[in-house]
């Protein structure tokens, strides 16, 4: 699976401090599994999934238009999931 996102926002707080920004993200995932018959209509299905996700966020406060705002470059996240299911 491949997924990408592009987000833009404008907000205003109760204290009337507006802010705006944008963010981008992407993720990719690969997963697989195979079912094995055990006995008497029982089966087990081991599965594994590998995922990687990356995101960038930029924001600026409207009362400081000359500032470049802040940028968050979140480190990439990796994840490995392994599980098994049984069925009858």
Instruction: Please list the pLDDT of the chain residue by residue as tens digits (88 residues).
Output: 899 999 888 878 787 777 788 888 999 999 998 888 888 878 888 899 999 988 888 766 555 554 556 666 677 788 888 888 777 7
Contact (Cβ atoms closer than 8 angstroms) between residue 54 and residue 72? no
Task: Say what the pLDDT of residue 68 is.
Answer: 54
Q: How many residues does the chain have?
A: 88
CA dihedral 77, 55, 74, 61 (to 10 degrees): -160
Task: Say what the pLDDT of residue 28 is.
Answer: 93
């Amino acid at each position: 699976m491949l997924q990408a996102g592009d987000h833009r926002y404008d907000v205003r707080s109760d204290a009337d401090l507006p802010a705006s920004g944008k963010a981008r993200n992407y993720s990719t995932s690969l997963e697989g599994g195979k079912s094995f018959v055990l006995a008497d209509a029982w089966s087990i299905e081991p599965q594994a999934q590998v995922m990687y996700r990356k995101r960038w966020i930029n924001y600026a406060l409207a009362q400081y238009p000359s500032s470049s705002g802040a940028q968050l470059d979140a480190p990439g996240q990796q994840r490995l999931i392994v599980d098994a299911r049984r069925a009858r």
